[in-house]
């Protein structure tokens, strides 16, 4: 089984004034198989949004390779990329900013269907478009009357349903969701996560689900990647990573998840702030906050390496 998406040694560097550089994504490699949900978790500024945007070519990567459905899309010209764009979509955090307030929901959702031809390369008839709009409303559990209304008439959760419907319009295979529930109330978050989960099963979708909240990622992901200052520091099956974290950073993040008493000692909560990604610490990038730091950690940058037999990998000289 070949992966739907393969990312090889990806970099995204922003040039700043005074010859400074911000390495938002700093050598990231992973792959995602069809039908899988990969959660990407980390504090704000760890590069997870930049990574998401690079994957869908919404912003160009500085270096590395992105292979989608077996095809290297890293440098494809926009014209060649365009038909592939239907197969990979993004859902953003801010449900309001991504919907033009002056346009009715029906028009907003019809737009991609008008712009892109169908799978046989033909322009869709308006009857086909209307039928598809009704299907989309049904998929995200909104009444078809919503199509005639404007974005401001909906709650945040409903607007996120509309955004999901728009992402689904062209039947994509891969959806990158960047903090899709972070702006919502906790009770609404659960509904939207359930919707994502239902759609994933129903349509056989693949997700990359980006969040700063491990509790959110835990609910939906088969696998989890933990990012810190531009790099994946731990990746593996959700249960393996969350129940037996090997990286001190993951252990600290899991300490923040509420859970029933297990009799296990709770790991240390995180100390201090994330260092500036412009002036990254030497050696292990987590050493300024790590309770287990040793001399070697300041000198050598640990590479991601397998620690268990189930694909669990960690970048730490002294894994837990």
> Which does residue 49 bind out of ligand SF4, Mg ion, none, counting CB within 5 to 8 angstroms by kind?
Mg ion
Among 73, 251, 284, 304, binds ligand SF4 (CB under 6 A): 284
> Which does residue 287 bind out of ligand SF4, Mg ion, none, counting CB within 5 to 8 angstroms by kind?
ligand SF4
> Which does residue 292 bind out of ligand SF4, Mg ion, none, counting CB within 5 to 8 angstroms by kind?
ligand SF4
Tell me the residue ranges of DSSP E strands in 16-104: 21-32, 37-41, 63-68, 71-72, 88-91
Q: At 89, which helix (H) or strand (E)?
A: strand 88-91
| Residue among 295, 287, 294 nearest 271 (CA) | 287
DSSP 42: -
| Residue among 295, 274, 286 nearest 315 (CA) | 286
Residue 73 and residue 59: Cα distance in Å, rounded? 12
Dig out the tokens for 280 from the structure: 């990254």
The β-bridge relationship of strands 21-32 and 231-237 is unpaired
Among 184, 290, 304, 307, binds ligand SF4 (CB under 6 A): 290
Site for ligand SF4 in 192-251 (CB under 6 A): 247-248
Helix, strand, or coil (residue 170):
coil
Does 297 contact ligand SF4 by CB under 6 A?
yes
* Number of residues located near Mg ion, criterion CB under 5 A: 1
Site for ligand SF4 in 246-275 (CB under 6 A): 247-248
Give the range of 43-51, 68-76, 283-291, 305-313 binding Mg ion by CB under 5 A.
Answer: 43-51
Does 74 contact Mg ion by CB under 5 A?
no
Q: Is 222 exposed, middle or buried (0-12, 13-18, 19+ CB in 10 A)?
A: middle
Tell me the residue ranges of DSSP E strands in 161-230: 174-178, 206-211, 223-228
Among 10, 28, 214, 316, binds ligand SF4 (CB under 6 A): 316
> Which does residue 284 bind out of Mg ion, ligand SF4, none, counting CB within 5 to 8 angstroms by kind?
ligand SF4
- The smaller minimum CB distance to ligand SF4, of residues 208 and 290, is found at 290
- The smaller minimum CB distance to ligand SF4, of residues 154 and 228, is found at 228
Angle between helix 126-139 and helix 186-203 axes, rounded to 10 deg: 120
> Which does residue 67 bind out of Mg ion, ligand SF4, none, counting CB within 5 to 8 angstroms by kind?
none
Does 50 contact Mg ion by CB under 5 A?
no
Among 22, 39, 46, 49, binds Mg ion (CB under 5 A): 49
Among 67, 84, 139, 293, binds ligand SF4 (CB under 6 A): 293
Q: How far is the CB of 203 from Mg ion (least distance, A)?
A: 26
- The smaller minimum CB distance to ligand SF4, of residues 14 and 318, is found at 318
Longest dimension (CA), the chain: 68
Give the contacts of 313 (CB within 8 A, at least 6 positions apart): 234, 235, 236, 304, 305, 306, 307
- Report residue 263 CA to chain centroid gap: 33
Residues engaged in binding Mg ion (CB under 5 A): 49
Residues engaged in binding ligand SF4 (CB under 6 A): 247-248, 284, 286-287, 290, 292-293, 297, 302, 316-318
């Amino acid at each position: 089984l070949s992966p739907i998406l393969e990312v090889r040694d990806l970099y995204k560097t922003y040039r700043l004034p005074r010859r400074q550089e911000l390495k938002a994504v700093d050598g990231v490699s992973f792959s995602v198989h069809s039908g899988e949900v990969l959660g990407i978790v980390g504090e704000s500024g760890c590069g997870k949004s930049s990574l998401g945007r690079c994957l869908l070519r919404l912003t160009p990567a500085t270096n590395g390779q992105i292979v989608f459905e077996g095809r290297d899309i890293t440098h494809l010209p926009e014209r060649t990329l365009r038909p592939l764009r239907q197969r990979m979509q993004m859902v953003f955090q801010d449900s309001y900013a991504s919907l033009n307030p002056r346009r009715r929901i029906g028009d907003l959702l019809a737009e991609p269907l008008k712009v892109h031809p169908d799978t046989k390369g033909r322009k869709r008839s308006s009857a086909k478009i209307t039928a598809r709009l009704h299907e989309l409303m049904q998929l995200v559990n909104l009444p078809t009357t919503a199509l005639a209304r404007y974005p401001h008439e909906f709650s945040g959760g409903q607007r996120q349903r509309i955004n999901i419907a728009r992402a689904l319009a062209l039947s994509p295979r891969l959806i990158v969701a960047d903090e899709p529930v972070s702006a919502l109330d906790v009770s609404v978050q659960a509904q939207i996560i359930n919707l994502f989960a239902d759609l994933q099963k129903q349509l056989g979708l693949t997700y990359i689900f980006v969040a700063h909240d491990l509790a959110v990622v835990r609910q939906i992901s088969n696998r989890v990647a933990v990012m810190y200052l531009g790099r994946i520091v731990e990746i593996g099956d959700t249960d393996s990573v969350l129940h037996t974290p090997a990286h001190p950073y993951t252990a600290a993040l899991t300490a923040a998840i509420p859970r029933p008493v297990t009799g296990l000692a709770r790991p240390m909560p995180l100390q201090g702030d994330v260092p500036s990604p412009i002036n990254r610490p030497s050696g292990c990038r987590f050493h300024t906050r790590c309770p287990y730091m040793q001399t070697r950690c300041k000198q050598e940058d640990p590479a991601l390496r397998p620690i268990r037999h189930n694909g669990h990998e960690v970048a730490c000289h002294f894994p837990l």
